Amino acid sequence: MIRMRVDHYAESLRMNTSMVVLMPQAAAGIGMAGAYGAYGAPAADVGVPVLYLLHGLSDDCTIWERRTAIERYASTKGIAVVMPEVRRSFYADEALGEDYWTYIADELPQLLARTFRISTAREDTFVAGLSMGGFGAMKLALNRPDRFAAAASLSGVLDLGALDLSEHGGHLAARIWDVRGSDAGPGAHLAAGGPDDLLGLIAAADPASTPALFVACGTEDYLIEGNERFLEVAARQGHAVETVLRPGAHTWEFWDEEIQRVLEWLPLR
């Protein structure tokens, strides 16, 4: 595969930022899968399918490469992988910071469509992430269901209202949602029915038009209860979610195994 570190100016952020992009290549090195895996090269006017792969709270756009063999895994599928940088934003337009939701949901796809031979068709567009990135993947899928064919959360923050963000620096709720002081406890930063309320969004979503969903979480993960609540609400609404709840914790050993499972699960054409 072709690996690129892309540094660019983002209008919505009003600053330069970075992403890592992996693109299928017509030739492979020793020990790597061949060109475009088993799916063959797409027509010149179509472009390759793309997976947006999102990082967690303490990470950056390079972390998936440094902790997993994502390039090798993706090479067998003929899929592009885009790993953007969003810092500690929870994929939101921050009240006292930058507009990362606008960047990730609107500006970035347009930039990629102009720059790379990536398909813009819904059936070729997927999103996945871990922890904060799992939240971001589901937020994109449920707020932009017309854009994604499938979304996967690995140990995701799927019940944001139950997460005590004071344990993650104390300033996150104030910076992202402008919630301060005594109001900054669990749940106070979450507007019911808003773009960050995944439980409300999945409860209101039409299963017929919702992207295919994949949820994996370790049973020893501190986020397991939130994942279970999300799955319960999804089941009541009639969503058929591909579910993996198995022994494991909030670790890269778990995510490395599950991202391989996600790539096998994606409905690639």
Tell me the per-residue pLDDT of 128-182, one tens digit each, with 9 for 90 and over. 999 999 999 999 999 999 999 999 999 999 999 888 777 666 688 888 888 765 4
Does the pTM of the predicted model rise above 0.95? Answer: no
User: Regarding predicted confidence, which is higher, 167 or 236?
Assistant: 236
Question: 37 falls in which pLDDT band (50, 70, 90)?
Answer: low
Tokens 């797409």 — which residue? Answer: 42
Q: How many folded domains does the chain comprise?
A: 1
Token couple for 101 = 């939701």
The pLDDT of 208-228, averaged and rounded, is 98
User: Regarding predicted confidence, which is higher, 43 or 196?
Assistant: 196
At 131, which amino acid appears? S
Question: 218 falls in which pLDDT band (50, 70, 90)?
Answer: very high
Q: Which residues pair with 10 in a beta bridge?
A: 15
The upper half-sphere exposure of residue 11, i.e. CA atoms within 13 Å in the direction of its Cβ, equals: 5
Residues 6+ apart with CB under 8 A from 260: 73
Q: Please give the Cα distance from 162 to 158 (Å, whole number).
A: 9
Residue 104 falls in which region: left (phi positive, over 0), alpha (psi -120 to 50) or beta: alpha
Query: Domain with 199 in it: what CATH number?
Result: 3.40.50.1820
For residue range 38-86, what is the model confidence (pLDDT) as tens digits? 555 555 567 999 999 999 999 999 999 999 999 999 998 999 999 999 9
For residue 34, the enclosing domain spans 2-265
